[in-house]
């Protein structure tokens, strides 16, 4: 089997694993697992709506085609044929004390022989709770350092820069790790990187379960729900204005429903919304900065 | 007074006129009129929340500065200083049978002496009702033809192309008129074009009042409200992915709250939402096409 087909096959298996594991965390529902085919390729979009996780999607896709001028420009490469496969996840919890989570691993090849892996995981708490922010980053630190010393620091900083809403001067949440365009020439390093993306994806359900098990039973008020919907509005802004996967997908004529399944179930906008200086909402906003050491 | 300062002054007066007129249409509230200043310039953001119009904003701004590389690229010009002034309006009605409306007129100057006017108005009904779609386009036809024969057809077609969600294969609504980068060398033509933008802006309250007076009293169900929120989700998609004013504003470091005040109060997303073939929702979707003759 060609390397790229093998990556796709293994990612598909991991998608199954992730869905199975998440069904053990929120037993109120099961994933709807929908296989699709399009002009560009194929995929499986698994969606979930339960009592703990309000709206979740675990996407797998394997597509190929010709880059449009816009997509090639966005990637900084010459127009060429491409192959891309990956898993992409967004989960919006019902309880405002629980965080939104996103994870993505992807492999990309150009017709000219160029290739790279990319990926990331980041957490967007509606309310930042230091203890659980720390647990999240600790899990990533262990994963990264196990792969390569210094990889956490490098990709944590990249996440701070990437998951940032320039027009709001806010990070999306507490970040996580982000890496893109890593394409080692050395065959061994390439395989190790592939292994790392698999480990990251397989670690996802446990990492999110730790957050949900601690926080999804916490009581909440209407005010907490209002805040959640405002923060979901920011999530929409990030995904439509900045998210590279979303932009690349829409630009290359990807399957819109699978791309925009990352949108929250509902989002609100209030002109010049203000929060009290001694509120938890204010505290969360004050922590949406780059360069915070969450460990 | 310099021409550009005069344009700004007259636009500011028209903003006042528009707010006053809208307050006569929805008497349940008044505009909050907020003057602001930023590094780039100044403006007035007038916001409204009433029982007929749920969320509205009438923006005026007058800004100048240096184009960022991104903004210059987006405009297709070399990096230069710029001056921009305009009125920008979005109104989200409470009643799902009433349409969302948008109107914008703007004047732009470059340091190298280049200048142009742009503008547009378009209607986004949650439910398309042919009679009122036609009234809207008839009003624009009269305005345009009074200015210049053939201007309606030209700008109506541009609106069809501009107010289009490529990834959805849908127009945003029933369109309207759109024009950009018209900068006549001839002084008389320049003044006539300025007059046209003023007439368009002044016609706005009457055009929207005609829709609201007919439709805002119509009874609606929870199902109608759900549909309205889904359509508002599409509005969000257009504004964040395609709207040139939003992109230019965010790119040049404009005042975020004034730019994103166009967002609906609430929006929802449902993965693969389906509508029955013989429903009004289906009928509306089937009409979201380019090239429809609404007259």
Give tens-digit pLDDT for B190-220.
999 999 999 999 999 999 999 999 999 999 9
* Domain assignment of residue A291, yes or no: no
C-alpha span between B200 and B202 (Å, rounded): 5
* Domain assignment of residue B282, yes or no: yes
| Residue in A261, A265, A272 nearest the CB of B268 | A265
Domain hosting residue B235, numbered range: 3-286
3-state class of B266 per DSSP?
A: strand
Below-50 pLDDT ranges, chain A: none
Give me the phi and psi of A287, to 5 degrees please: -100, 0
In this model, does residue B286 exceed pLDDT 90?
yes
User: Among all residues of chain B, which has the CA nearest to that of A260?
Assistant: B271
| Residue in B241, B264, B270 nearest the CB of A240 | B241
User: Among all residues of chain A, which has the CA nearest to that of B241?
Assistant: A240
Please check whether residue B118 is in contact with residue B181, taking contact to mean a CB–CB distance below 8 angstroms: yes
* Domain assignment of residue A234, yes or no: yes
| Residue in A47, A250, A265 nearest the CB of B241 | A250
Bridge partner list, B116: B108
| Residue in B229, B261, B271 nearest the CB of A257 | B271
* Domain assignment of residue A292, yes or no: no
Spell out the residues 6+ positions from residue B278 whose beta carbon is closer than 8 angstroms to its own.
none
Q: Over pLDDT 70: what percentage of chain B?
A: 100
Contact A236 B241 (CB under 8 A): no
CA distance A132 to chain B (A): 28
Confidence at B78, pLDDT banded by 50, 70, 90: confident
* Domain assignment of residue B293, yes or no: no
CA distance B204 to chain A (A): 23
Bridge partner list, B56: B48, B91
For A139-166, write each residue's pLDDT tens digit.
999 999 999 999 999 999 999 999 999 9
| A57 contacts on B by Cβ (under 8 Å) | 271
* Per-residue model confidence (pLDDT) at position A41: 93
The total domain count for chain B is: 1
Give this complex's ipTM: 0.94
* Domain assignment of residue B291, yes or no: no
CA distance A266 to chain B (A): 4
Q: What is the pTM of this model?
A: 0.95
Longest alpha-carbon distance in chain B: 59
Confidence at B71, pLDDT banded by 50, 70, 90: confident
Contact B270 A265 (CB under 8 A): yes
Within its chain, how far is the Cα of A271 from the centroid?
28
User: Among all residues of chain B, which has the CA nearest to that of A266?
Assistant: B268
| B256 contacts on A by Cβ (under 8 Å) | 167-168
* Domain assignment of residue B72, yes or no: yes
Please check whether residue B28 is in contact with residue B52, taking contact to mean a CB–CB distance below 8 angstroms: yes
User: Among all residues of chain A, which has the CA nearest to that of B45?
Assistant: A271
Bridge partner list, B122: B102, B176
Active site residue A137: no
* Per-residue model confidence (pLDDT) at position B70: 77
C-alpha span between B85 and B7 (Å, rounded): 8
* Domain assignment of residue A295, yes or no: no
**CATH code, domain with A53:** 3.40.1500.10
Catalytically annotated residue among B92, B102, B126, B137: B102
């Amino acid at each position: 089997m060609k390397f790229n087909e093998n990556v796709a096959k293994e990612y598909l298996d991991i998608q199954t694993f992730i869905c199975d594991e998440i069904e053990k965390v929120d037993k109120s529902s099961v994933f709807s697992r929908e296989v699709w085919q399009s002009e560009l390729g194929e995929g499986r979009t698994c969606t979930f709506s339960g009592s703990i996780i309000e709206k979740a999607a675990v996407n797998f896709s394997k597509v190929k085609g010709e880059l449009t001028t816009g997509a090639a420009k966005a990637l900084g490469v010459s127009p060429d044929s491409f192959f891309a496969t990956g898993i992409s996840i967004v989960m919006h919890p019902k309880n405002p004390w629980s965080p939104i989570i996103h994870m993505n691993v992807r492999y990309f090849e150009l017709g000219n022989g160029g290739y790279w892996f990319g990926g990331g995981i980041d957490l967007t708490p509606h309310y930042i709770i230091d203890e659980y922010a720390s647990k999240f980053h600790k899990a990533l630190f262990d994963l990264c350092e196990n792969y390569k010393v210094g990889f956490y620091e490098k990709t944590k900083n990249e996440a701070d820069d990437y998951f940032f809403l320039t027009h709001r001067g806010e990070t999306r949440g507490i970040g996580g790790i982000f890496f893109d365009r890593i394409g080692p020439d050395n065959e061994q390093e390439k395989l190790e990187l592939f292994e790392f993306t698999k480990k990251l994806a397989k670690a996802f359900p446990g990492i999110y379960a730790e957050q949900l098990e601690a926080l999804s039973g916490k009581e909440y008020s209407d005010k907490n729900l209002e805040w959640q919907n405002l923060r979901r509005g920011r999530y929409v802004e990030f995904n439509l204005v900045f998210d590279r996967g979303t932009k690349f997908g829409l630009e290359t004529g990807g399957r819109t429903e699978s791309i925009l399944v990352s949108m929250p179930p509902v989002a609100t906008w209030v002109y010049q919304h203000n929060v009290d200086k001694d509120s938890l909402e204010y505290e969360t906003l004050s922590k949406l900065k780059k360069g915070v050491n969450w460990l």
